[in-house]
Structure 1
Amino acid sequence: MIVGTAGHIDHGKTALVKALTGVDADRLKEEKARGITIDLGYAYSDLGDGRQLGFVDVPGHERFVHNMLAGATGIDAALLIVSAAEGIKPQTVEHLQIIDLLGLDRGVVALTKADLADDDQLLERMAEVETLLAATSLKGAEIVPVSALTGRGVDELKTRLLALGESSKGATGFARLAVDRSFVLSGAGVVVTGTIHAGEIKVDDRLLLTPSGLEARVRSLHAQNRPAEIGRAGERCALNLTGARLSKDAIRRGDWVVSSELHAPTDRLDVELSLLTSEGQPMKHWSPVHVHLGAAHVMGRVALLEGDKLAPGDTALAQLVLDEKVGALAGDRVILRDPSAIRTMAGANVIDPFGPPRNRRSERRLAELAALAEPDSQVLPKLLRLETGFVETGRFGLARNLRPVDVDKLLQAAGGAKLEGFGFLAETLAAARKDIVDTLKAHHEAKPDAPGLQPERLRLALAKRWPPAVFKALLDQEVKARAVMVDGAFLRLPGHSLTLGARDEALWREISAELVRERFKPPRVRDFANAYSVPEPEMRKLLQRLAKVGRVVEVAPDQYFLRPVVAEMIAVAHAFGREFTAAEFRDKLDNGRKVAILILEFFDRHGITIRRGDLRRTVPQKLEQYGPAGAASTAAADR
């Protein structure tokens, strides 16, 4: 467990840590010279049962509160220091406010310099501290008079600290360490120190630095100041890192060392924000603030989501819009200070680390945030019953540092099911299936001579309009179940097909046979009309109907090719394996320059080829836009 000291300057924090651990946490020359803690100091102690307690000695001077915050957000319990000789001071109050805003409810108060006060003074100080704690998360905390000089109360304080228990940080989930120091150690290389907030880090693990994305391998590590093979959540660790682009200057306080699954830098945090009662005036929408999260310190603005002002002592939903990206996850605690960094103003709990830039105040979004504020075990039942009707399981797991198997368990417990990366309630899936089938059925009844609906037209026609990716997952399921059939570019129900009259069917057999024989240079509409003594408008209408169901493709006005032939011609163009000319393409098809140019211009329009002067090249992603290059000679029979 990590214990953080807190309190006013010169109230004896560093001396008390030394009495508890035997280690002087003031490590900088300037700290020694000035007699105050400027930066974070660390010390460790075995308090009697083999477990190591780590102590973070934070600065008590108001000028260095930003350094205090870099250590405070990684601690499990607080050791609040109050001098028996001087009593409560400004930084005592601010540090306690920070402890309260961080939600720390485990702690002990050390009434230091007890040798300088008599019994009456000690009782008076204890009463003052109890009153101060009454409205905070440390209400009821033990108060122990101690003296680092005489040793009074030190053993009792050790016992009280040990009774606080072990770290409550999550052992499950992917690894995540908040960097508060980075330096180069002679003979070892780059070393970072920090607290593991989740998961485990092992020697030889390959990790990423967030937000930079730099790759790093763990060469060796120390956990709680001891050489180890593994560091666990709740332990302070020093990691010796190596990587191709890694250097001391490439890492800064506030970075995270994370498993690759957690690398997702963000600059918009949707939070539940609480403004301190001590603030003299309401916080306005878009107020500039200093934002402290983990060991990071960045500037940002507060976008209030439930009004334009937040009164002192009130809590509301807000979005923190940061000037630079940070690593953040749901459940992280944030401290906000005023633009001049003089005072602590507010605290926040991250609900969604990936807040949207638009519609953040919409009724739908506020309902979603209310559901996301629930604990892991309760969030999905509420989230899946919202108007949206689905959860993106990968994003949900990332935001809360849940492994896929744990997300699946939560989804199952909520009565849901996963479909191509999205979670739904069973009743939602059933309703979506019915909606798809009913919409296609209604279309067939209204337009019996139409082939069906194109996918996007179907999506927009549904009673519930799903986002494209979600609709695709739902549709794929119906296609696999053969409840919906894919017919060229159209979707239809299994019992529906475009049927031609006896005369048109006989005419199509003749036309398709001709299209196979002259597959690279087919006759035009007027040629078919003259050949079979059919009025040209009637012939054109027939071929247009056939194009709608994907049997033929109109490459140029009144110039139709069988669909498999179009796929074959794309394959011919791609087979060059390089840029090619129209003449080379014409020679391969042996169909004359004019028709070859018409085909290539069609390819250009549909992004199948890219033209540069007289040269073209194919686009690999478009090669199967009209299906695989099949045998065109069987096209008529297949139809």
Structure 2
Amino acid sequence: MIVGTAGHIDHGKTTLVRALTGVDTDRLPEEKARGISIELGYAYLDVPEHDERIGFIDVPGHEKLVHTMLAGASGIDFALLLVAADDGVMPQTREHLAVLSLLGLTRGAAVVTKVDRAEPGRVAALDDELRALLAGTGLDAAPVLAVSALTGQGVAELRELLFAAARRTPPRSPAGLAARLAVDRAFSLDGVGTVVTGTLHAGEIAVGDELVVQGLHARVRSLHAQNRAVQRAQAGQRCAVALAGLARAQAARGQWLTAPAAALATERVDARLRLWPGEPRPLRSGTRVHLHLGAQGVMASIAVLEGDAIEPGASARVQLVCHAAVGAWRGDRLVLRDAGATRTVAGGVVLDPFAPARYRRTPERLAELAACELPTVARRRERLLALSALGLDLGRFARAEGLAEAQQGWALGDAASEALTQRLLAALADFHARSPDELGPDGARLRRLVAPRLAEAPWLELLAGLRAAGRVAQRGAFVHLPEHGVQLSAVERRIAQKIAPLLAAAGADGAWARDLARDCAEPEPLLRATLARLAQQGELHQVVRDLFFDTATMTALAATTRRLAAGDGSVTAAAFRDATGLGRKRAIQVMEYFDRIGLLRRVGDEHRLRADSALFDEPGS
């Protein structure tokens, strides 16, 4: 169990932790000289007759250090809200209570400290005041205790309260989640290297594991959990992780140390937000705020997705547009402070770390966000699949959930699959009616007609399923209904047989219509008409007027194009010319043909491979 202290400056947080554990959490010379906490401090306490160790996070109470308090508060299980008997409830008391409540903390205690400095009547009055202060917050059922770290009054009772709470603390997260640690401190040790500390929010970390921070991979060299050397640490524990392969400058407070399967960074987060009841005015779209998530803090702007504003005490779904990338996973708690960082204004929970920039307020999108609020992974997946007209990206879903097992591919729900099928069949029927002499559109063009926003993977899977069921047919890259086929006449079939070996022999140079007519001893007008018919069927390819290539040659040239584009997705005419041995003019003509039919697209001086194109890459092509 992780216990976090909270309260106004100089209300005895560090002194009480020392009385409970014997550890002075003020470790910096400046902290000792000034008598206040500046950085997060840590201490530990063993639970008698129980294999459990309580970790304490001692946070600063000064108003200017609330951001440091937030870095520690996001990982705690049990809160101690301290109020000094000789001072009473102060501004940071109220703000720290707001933070704890907005982070969803429901387990804790309010502690009146320094009771040796106040009359019994004063302590009783503070007890009543604290109970009133806690009303309406997540800690409204928390007990109120009176202690004196100087005389020891109440310390034993508080310690026993913490022991009992530790024994009842459930596991931090269910099995199946990937390791995620919010880094709140990073330093270097001689002979050890880079060390990061933080609370393990989910999953497990073991010595030897490969982890990721800011896209950089590192290996766990050694590990401490709850201040003990261990081989494996579990969610809910304070950890110090020594990392091999990572420089100190590459790790900092606010970063996430994660298993590779869960690593993500996002600049748009959809969340459910609750505005603190004490706020004087509604929270409106366009408001700039400080977003605190895990141990990270960034500026963000709010877009309210339901209405234009959130009233004090109310909640609504919002999109947070961050000014820098953050790590966020579904279910993570967050806190917002105003643009001037003078007060805490709202808190909430992450619904979707992959929030869209467009269509974010549509009924369909709000239904997806409602699905994200369902209580289990299985129910969220089931509902999102049913709602996803364009398919569910399983890999992205797994990362959003922080699942330990990486997933790939897409899934289409039954209703979405049937709707897409009907649209596809209708599009083909319409194409055949308008262009009866053409075999059909190629797969990429058909996708643009039917579902331009559908990802390539589910599209290809849908198309393959329809081919296997005999509901569509495909010749090369061209798709058509089984009953539709451009039939050649006997004369055209005879000419096609005569020109086939000539085109094969011409290879990448192609063959001109007049030369084919001469070599076949056929009238040029008849041969041109036959060539046009064969091109409409996808049997051969007219690269420029009267210049034709067979499918085998174009398939080989397309394969070369794909190989050249394997790096950054682009191909230059010079690289294509050198790879194929064609002259510059012919190489450009072929690439421009690929542009026209949808294998490539022209961007400036480059030709970029279309990821969604199945031209010359389908069975039978």
Q: Same fold (TM over 0.5)?
A: yes
1:270-290, Cα deviation, whole Å (9 max, x unpaired) = 111222222222233222222
Q: What code does the residue aligned with 1:194 have?
A: G
Q: 1:248 to 1:580 in 2, by over 3 A?
A: closer
Partner of 1:104: 105
Partner of 1:284: 284
Task: Name the CA distance, whole Å, in 2 between partners of 1:474 and 1:433.
Answer: 8
Q: Secondary structure at the match of 1:94?
A: helix
Assess if the C-alpha contact under 8 Å between 1:76 and 1:168 holds in 2: no
Number of aligned positions between the proteins: 598
Q: What code does the residue aligned with 2:86 have?
A: A
Question: Out of 226, 230, 233, which is 2:232 matched to?
Answer: 230
Structure 1 residue runs without a partner (length 5+):
408-419, 587-595, 611-616, 629-637
Task: Name the CA distance, whole Å, in 1 between partners of 2:608 and 2:304.
Answer: 50
Q: 1:580 to 1:289 in 2, by over 3 A?
A: closer
Measure how far apart 1:255 and its partner are.
Answer: 0.9
Measure how far apart 1:189 and its partner are.
Answer: 1.8
Task: Name the CA distance, whole Å, in 1 between partners of 2:371 and 2:321.
Answer: 21
Task: Name the CA distance, whole Å, in 1 between partners of 2:562 and 2:215.
Answer: 37
Q: 1:154 to 1:459 in 2, by over 3 A?
A: same
Q: Secondary structure at the match of 1:474?
A: helix
Q: What code does the residue aligned with 1:563 have?
A: T
Task: Name the CA distance, whole Å, in 2 between partners of 1:64 and 1:53.
Answer: 24
Q: What code does the residue aligned with 2:532 have?
A: Q
Question: Out of 534, 552, 555, which is 2:543 matched to?
Answer: 555
Measure how far apart 1:340 and its partner are.
Answer: 1.9
Question: Out of 481, 487, 496, which is 1:499 matched to?
Answer: 487
Task: Name the CA distance, whole Å, in 2 between partners of 1:515 and 1:114.
Answer: 99
Question: Out of 424, 441, 448, which is 1:453 matched to?
Answer: 441
Task: Name the CA distance, whole Å, in 2 between partners of 1:515 and 1:607.
Answer: 19
Task: Name the CA distance, whole Å, in 2 between partners of 1:535 and 1:340.
Answer: 84
Q: Secondary structure at the match of 2:412?
A: strand
1:394-433, Cα deviation, whole Å (9 max, x unpaired) = 111101112448x8xxxxxxxxxxxx72223234334444
Q: 1:345 to 1:461 in 2, by over 3 A?
A: same
Q: 1:177 to 1:543 in 2, by over 3 A?
A: same
Partner of 2:18: 18
Q: Secondary structure at the match of 1:163?
A: helix
Task: Name the CA distance, whole Å, in 1 between partners of 2:361 and 2:322.
Answer: 18
Task: Name the CA distance, whole Å, in 2 between partners of 1:531 and 1:45.
Answer: 95
Q: What code does the residue aligned with 1:390 have?
A: G
Q: 1:297 to 1:30 in 2, by over 3 A?
A: same
Partner of 2:60: 59
Measure how far apart 1:569 and its partner are.
Answer: 7.0
Q: 1:474 to 1:528 in 2, by over 3 A?
A: same
Assess if the C-alpha contact under 8 Å between 1:171 and 1:232 holds in 2: no
Assess if the C-alpha contact under 8 Å between 1:7 and 1:95 holds in 2: yes
Q: 1:259 to 1:404 in 2, by over 3 A?
A: closer
Task: Name the CA distance, whole Å, in 1 between partners of 2:432 and 2:394.
Answer: 35
Q: Secondary structure at the match of 1:384?
A: helix
Q: 1:531 to 1:143 in 2, by over 3 A?
A: same
Question: Out of 405, 411, 417, which is 1:429 matched to?
Answer: 417
Measure how far apart 1:485 and its partner are.
Answer: 2.7
Q: 1:222 to 1:550 in 2, by over 3 A?
A: same
Equivalent residues in 2 for 1:354-393, closer than 5 Å: 354-375=354-375, 376-386=377-387, 388=389, 390-393=391-394
1:170 aligned onto 2:173: yes
Partner of 2:84: 83
1:187-244, Cα deviation, whole Å (9 max, x unpaired) = 22211111000111111111111xx32221111111000111111100001111121x
Task: Name the CA distance, whole Å, in 2 between partners of 1:465 and 1:249.
Answer: 41
Report which stretch shifted further, 58-67 or 445-454. 445-454
Measure how far apart 1:514 and its partner are.
Answer: 4.5
Measure how far apart 1:535 and its partner are.
Answer: 6.1
Partner of 1:592: none
Task: Name the CA distance, whole Å, in 2 between partners of 1:278 and 1:427.
Answer: 46
Assess if the C-alpha contact under 8 Å between 2:4 and 2:56 holds in 1: yes
Partner of 1:411: none
Task: Name the CA distance, whole Å, in 2 between partners of 1:180 and 1:520.
Answer: 61
Q: What code does the residue aligned with 2:374 have?
A: E
Please tell me whether Structure 1 or Structure 2 has the larger radius of gyration of its CA atoms: 1
The TM-score with structure 1 as length reference comes to 0.84
Assess if the C-alpha contact under 8 Å between 1:41 and 1:56 holds in 2: yes
Partner of 2:592: 605
1:73 aligned onto 2:74: yes
Q: What code does the residue aligned with 2:209 have?
A: D
Assess if the C-alpha contact under 8 Å between 1:113 and 1:148 holds in 2: yes
Q: 1:565 to 1:377 in 2, by over 3 A?
A: closer
Task: Name the CA distance, whole Å, in 1 between partners of 2:441 and 2:356.
Answer: 32
Task: Name the CA distance, whole Å, in 1 between partners of 2:426 and 2:575.
Answer: 48
Measure how far apart 1:527 and its partner are.
Answer: 5.0
Partner of 2:124: 123
Measure how far apart 1:565 and its partner are.
Answer: 3.7
Assess if the C-alpha contact under 8 Å between 1:2 and 1:167 holds in 2: no
Task: Name the CA distance, whole Å, in 2 between partners of 1:521 and 1:461.
Answer: 33
1:193 aligned onto 2:183: no
Task: Name the CA distance, whole Å, in 2 between partners of 1:569 and 1:365.
Answer: 43
Measure how far apart 1:74 and its partner are.
Answer: 1.0
1:564 aligned onto 2:565: no
Assess if the C-alpha contact under 8 Å between 1:489 and 1:548 holds in 2: no
Task: Name the CA distance, whole Å, in 1 between partners of 2:393 and 2:555.
Answer: 35
Measure how far apart 1:518 and its partner are.
Answer: 5.8
Measure how far apart 1:174 and its partner are.
Answer: 0.9
Q: 1:549 to 1:345 in 2, by over 3 A?
A: same
Q: 1:40 to 1:627 in 2, by over 3 A?
A: closer
Partner of 1:295: 295
Measure how far apart 1:36 and its partner are.
Answer: 1.4
Report which stretch shifted further, 563-572 or 47-56. 563-572
Measure how far apart 1:177 and its partner are.
Answer: 0.7
1:529-562, Cα deviation, whole Å (9 max, x unpaired) = 5777876454323211211222112133112232
Assess if the C-alpha contact under 8 Å between 1:553 and 1:563 holds in 2: yes
Q: What code does the residue aligned with 1:370 have?
A: A
Measure how far apart 1:511 and its partner are.
Answer: 3.3
Partner of 1:309: 309
Q: What code does the residue aligned with 1:9 have?
A: I
Partner of 2:338: 338
Task: Name the CA distance, whole Å, in 2 between partners of 1:574 and 1:371.
Answer: 39
Partner of 2:566: none
Measure how far apart 1:359 and its partner are.
Answer: 3.2
Task: Name the CA distance, whole Å, in 1 between partners of 2:52 and 2:368.
Answer: 42
Q: What code does the residue aligned with 2:329 have?
A: L
Question: Out of 177, 184, 195, which is 1:180 matched to?
Answer: 184
Assess if the C-alpha contact under 8 Å between 1:108 and 1:161 holds in 2: no
1:450-506, Cα deviation, whole Å (9 max, x unpaired) = 312322343344489744443223213333555433202311244543321233223
Q: Secondary structure at the match of 2:528?
A: helix
Q: 1:606 to 1:259 in 2, by over 3 A?
A: farther
Q: What code does the residue aligned with 2:474 have?
A: V
Task: Name the CA distance, whole Å, in 2 between partners of 1:369 and 1:570.
Answer: 42
Assess if the C-alpha contact under 8 Å between 2:199 and 2:236 holds in 1: yes
Structure 2 residue runs without a partner (length 5+):
564-573, 601-606
1:235-264, Cα deviation, whole Å (9 max, x unpaired) = 001111121xx3222221111111112221
Q: 1:257 to 1:581 in 2, by over 3 A?
A: closer
Task: Name the CA distance, whole Å, in 2 between partners of 1:319 and 1:180.
Answer: 26
Q: 1:515 to 1:16 in 2, by over 3 A?
A: closer
Q: What code does the residue aligned with 1:286 have?
A: G
Partner of 1:247: 247
Partner of 1:267: 267
Partner of 1:631: none
Assess if the C-alpha contact under 8 Å between 1:41 and 1:58 holds in 2: yes
Overall identity of the aligned pairs, in %: 43
Measure how far apart 1:393 and its partner are.
Answer: 1.1
Measure how far apart 1:444 and its partner are.
Answer: 4.7
Equivalent residues in 2 for 1:1-12, closer than 5 Å: 1-12=1-12
Q: 1:168 to 1:96 in 2, by over 3 A?
A: farther
